[in-house]
Structure formats: C-alpha cells, structure tokens
A = this chain, B = another copy of it.
Amino acid sequence: MKNILLNISFNGSFFHGWQIQPNAVTVQQTLCDAIKNLTNESVNLIGCSRTDSGVHANSFVCNFKTESTIPPEKFADALNCELPDTVVVKESFEVPESFHARYDCKGKRYVYRILNTKTKSPFFNGLVFHYPYEIDVEKLDRASKDFVGTHDFTAFCAAGSDVADKVRTIRSFQVFRRGDEVVFSVEGDGFLYNMVRIMVGTLLDIGRGKIDQNSIKKIISEKSRDNAGVTVPGEGLYLDEVFYDGVF
C-alpha cells in the first residue's frame, strides 16, 4: 500500500468547489473518477482544504492510498490523460504512510486577482474580479500589514460558520500591481470561511474611503462581522501554495 501525494491546479469556474456532493461537479469527484479509471480502485482522496464554488487553485495538495503498481511519479501524466482540461496534476510522488494532506498542512498562501482596467477583458471571464475604479495600491498594502499576527478573526469570518476557535496567524500580506492586475497575497497558518474574501473586500472599502485606513486593528478587536467590508466574489481567489514540513 502506497500513499501518493498529488499537487494539482484547477480552474474553479468549472466546479462546485473541491468536496464531493450530490448532483454537482466537484474537483474531488472528478479526480476520484480519474483514479478509478486508472487503477480500478475507489480511493479515499484527502484534500488540503475545502474550496468554494468558483475558487481556483494554482496549487492544491491531496493524497490517497493505493495498491496500484504504477510508479508514484507516473500518476501525474497518467491522470492528466483521464482528466478534463480544467484540472491538471502538476506532480505526484510517494509520501510516508502517515502523511495526511489536511492534518499535516502547516500553512497556505492565497492570492486574490483584481483586473483593474476600464473595460472587462474577454480572456479572464471567471478568472479575476473586474474592478474598474482607481486603486491606491500603496495605501492598501500599508493597511494590509495590520492583518499580520495572531488574532481572533471572528470579524472576518462569514456568519454561520461553526468553527469554534477563530484564532489564526497571518504571516504576511502584500498588495501589489502586476501588469493590469492588482494582486493581494496573504499567507497564514489557516483561514476561516470567506476570510480572505472579506479581508480583500475590507481593503477595497478602505481604498474608496468607506472604511478608515487605520481601523483594521479595531475591527479585529471588536469581533463583529458587520464592521468589516464586503465579501468579494470567489472568481478572483486562488489557493496559491500549501505548506508542509519536509514534504516539499
């Protein structure tokens, strides 16, 4: 029995998120079907996290156990032959039997992509959030540093989440311009439901003067979702990298 790690990338526009659910096309289901076609095994595929409908991944890690004799590093090419163009296995390799993509995850980086042009682009439908207004990137980058640290992020969690412990550590936050885009890059040990999308929405509200640029620490401390900004659409969000001790 081998434990195989897959590092995948997927275009979330075509999926109702990662997790298997009835009557919806999900990444987990699509991958399980491909593994079944290849090995004839119905595996338990463990993902590093759930993702929402429409959210993308530049890098998403999952693992499964198999009796297959396919060399571990060959799973990538073999699965890509079975998969639609909207999911790509970037690499595959064997990991220790105890490795668990979710429990062993030590952190993640998300990026949020805004297309900051006057008109939409016909090439980025579902892949960026189009925001045609001027963005003071330096101001947003400065404000974003107030998210860094270990805080109770209740104010930045979608209402209705049933997670008890809302303390998370944000290791870094950057806002920068890349061509026609404004990119938000945030790394942390873990994220609450909609947390990145609410943090980005709050920064945009700071940009247009709806929220004061020095108020993020106060919003965090008051722990009320009502004080934070809007939740920006999922289409701009990418899980960019997942961190493990000693695996990558």
Contact = CB atoms under 8 A, between A and B. Distances in A.
B85 A120 contact: yes
A126 to B, nearest CB: 9
Contacts of A121: 9, 88
A37 B79 CA distance: 46
Number of copies: 2
Interface string A72-108: 0000100010000111111000000000000000000
A127 B123 CA distance: 8
Which of A56, A80, A122 is the most central at the interface, judged by chain B CB atoms within 10 Å of its CB?
A122
Interface in A142-192: none
A11 B90 CA distance: 26
Nearest to A90: B119
A199 B121 CA distance: 28
Contacts of A89: 119
Nearest to A91: B119
A125 interface: yes
A122 B76 contact: no
B119 A85 contact: no
A10 interface: yes
Contacts of A86: 122, 125
10 contacts: A9-B121, A9-B122, A10-B122, A11-B122, A11-B125, A56-B123, A80-B119, A85-B125, A86-B125, A90-B119
Interface of A: 9-11, 56, 76, 80, 85-90, 118-123, 125, 127
